[in-house]
Amino acid sequence: MNNLKWLATASIAAISLTLAAPAIADVTMEDILNDAKTPGDVVTNGMGTQGQRYSALKTINKDNVGSLVPAWTMSVGGEKMRGQESQPLVKDGVMYMTGSYSRVWAIDTKTGHRIWEYAHRLPEGIMPCCDVVNRGGALYGNMLIYGTLDAKLVALDIKTGKVIWSKEVDDFKAGYTETAAPLIVPSKAFGPILVTGVSGGEFGVIGRVEARKVADGELVWSRPTIEGHVGMLAGKPSTMTGKKNETWPGDLWQTGGGATWLGGTYDPETNQLFFGVGNPAPWNSHMRPGDNKWSCSRIAINPENGEINWGYQTTPNDGWDYDGVNEVVSFDMNGTKAAATADRNGFFYVLDRTNGKFLSATPFVKNITWAKSIGADGRPVYDPANRPGDPTKSADGKKGTAVYSVPSFLGGKNWMPMAYSQDTKLFYVPSNEWGMDLWNEPIAFKKGGAYLGAGFTIKPTFEDHIGSLKAIDPATGKIAWEVTNKAPLWGGVLATAGGLVFYGTPEGELKAVDAATGKQLWAFNTGSGIVGSPITWEQDGEQLVSVISGWGGAVPLWGGEVAKTIANLPQGGMVWTFKMPKKLAAN
Ligand code: CA
Ligand code: CA
């Protein structure tokens, strides 16, 4: 009798488990293209392919956010903590999250329980420049696709975590890695395509943007970012990028850098991919006189064939490692199809995204030295005295004149994505106020070796803070408000129709501030530094907010004097999800 009773209970439990298990539907191109407008899921990096990181949800708002509480948390586990720079994705009750050391988890969004984990087997000798991070995956069909530190793309079955396909992008021993979230966009010729860039700019790799068939990872086109290199289309050489030796004299273009390590955004309205391009290699600009296109630039690419529609160069003949990779965010500016980007070089740019025409540039950090201004033609006005000197002109030929440059090479803003609010019409930019002593040294290219030809020490501009979240009006370039933070900001931002802006700090707090004023309305200590990007979505009528916490990234590795001041921040690796207590949410 007892046994029978147990059996009956067990089968009821089994039935209810089956009923409760989320029904996981395939992710369609419609889901991807509509992501920004569908608050019930987050299926793209950037919360929409245009990268606005804006949610129309307002259940959580200025009036009640102070009551936000944790719903659940999950540890990424193991000893492999380090920097967690990911943005989670959510669909049908499951969260998909990438993490340090090329790992991925599927998590039940109601309970925080793990559904599966995938730990990519990494070989000895990977060469990530800036911590073992991953910045997120892409969903399509029954697949989650992401890049690994050994320069592979891996497609996993979202139901099981099993590998469906895996492709090597390039040789990790030459310095290639994959850390950015891939982008999935439609193409008439090839169907859904997966678009990715490459990391490795400090090793003299040649940057490129590539498109593959989502179904099997087969390459359909490739577009090198550096002038003189030839692209590929449908298995054959296509066109040359630019004109050989036009802005790169000599042979250095052959190892010219221009990594596309942060991935890109996609604008369905103009059917263009927007990718940022990193620094030219080596750092010593005296070895490569000329503009060095398209290093330190934004390029618009036609997804059908990989051709460059337009390019805009933020730092021609860069001598400061001002990678031009930062995200291009499409938005409407009083009827103009505009795009904004906050550059490493400390200027906030607005372009006409239909043709790349320069509209404006305004400084968003203080005391910039490398340029006097940005001219009406969109080119920086240089002060030659503020460019690090030529080592061959020094007495012993070993060290060029050192200069103090602002921003530091870690940038007025680095990889961490900004947000745009469709209500306030402001951009929320996670910025940092710091400079560097910088000098050039002789260097020769060696495959797989660091290719800088420079030395540096980073220093804070102010005593009391480095980080600064700024609200910028793209129409005027004016800074509407600023909230400072002691440690450098290194995580993404989220804006909501609830009049809120969410962002995390290395000190460990996820914060919500008033989107109109910057006034802090809520903060929660997650126990480790936040360098990931928060998301929000709706489930069963409730609004939830999630962020991954886990200190790391480039600052502790490269921060010089700054790194010393933040050396005791605790490591971690927990994804946190917050919601309103039901009674309060109903008020
Ligand atoms: Ca959505
Ligand atoms: Ca760089």
Q: State the distance between the two ends of the chain, measured CA to CA, in whole angstroms.
A: 50
Determine the 3-state secondary structure of 17 from DSSP: helix
Global model pTM greater than 0.75: yes
- The CA–CA distances, whole Å, from 260 to 80, 353, 452, 491, 522 equal 26, 19, 17, 19, 36
Give the Å distance between the CA of 491 and the centre of ligand 2: 18
Name the closest ligand to CA 37: 1
pLDDT of residue 559: 83
Contacts for 66-70: CB closer than 8 Å, 24+ residues apart: 66/521, 66/522, 67/580, 67/581, 67/584, 68/512, 68/522, 68/524, 68/545, 68/578, 68/579, 68/580, 69/578, 69/579, 69/580, 69/581, 70/524, 70/576, 70/577, 70/578
The vertex-571 CA angle with 568 and 572, nearest 5°, equals 150
Q: How many CA atoms lie within 13 A of 535 on its CB side?
A: 30
Give the Å distance between the CA of 162 and the centre of ligand 2: 34
pLDDT per 10-residue tile (average), the chain, 587 residues: 40 42 86 98 98 98 97 90 95 97 97 96 88 96 97 97 97 92 97 95 91 98 98 97 96 95 98 98 96 98 98 98 98 98 98 98 98 98 96 94 97 98 98 97 89 93 96 98 97 98 98 98 98 97 97 89 85 96 67
pLDDT of residue 585: 65
**CA gap 97, 157 in Å, rounded:** 14
pLDDT of residue 200: 82
Give the Å distance between the CA of 538 and the centre of ligand 1: 9
Active site residues: 321
Name the closest ligand to CA 48: 1
Q: Are strands 152-157 and 542-549 parallel, antiparallel or unpaired?
A: unpaired
Give the Å distance between the CA of 201 and the centre of ligand 2: 6
Question: What domains are there in the chain, each with its CATH number?
Answer: 2-586 (2.140.10.10)
Name the closest ligand to CA 259: 2
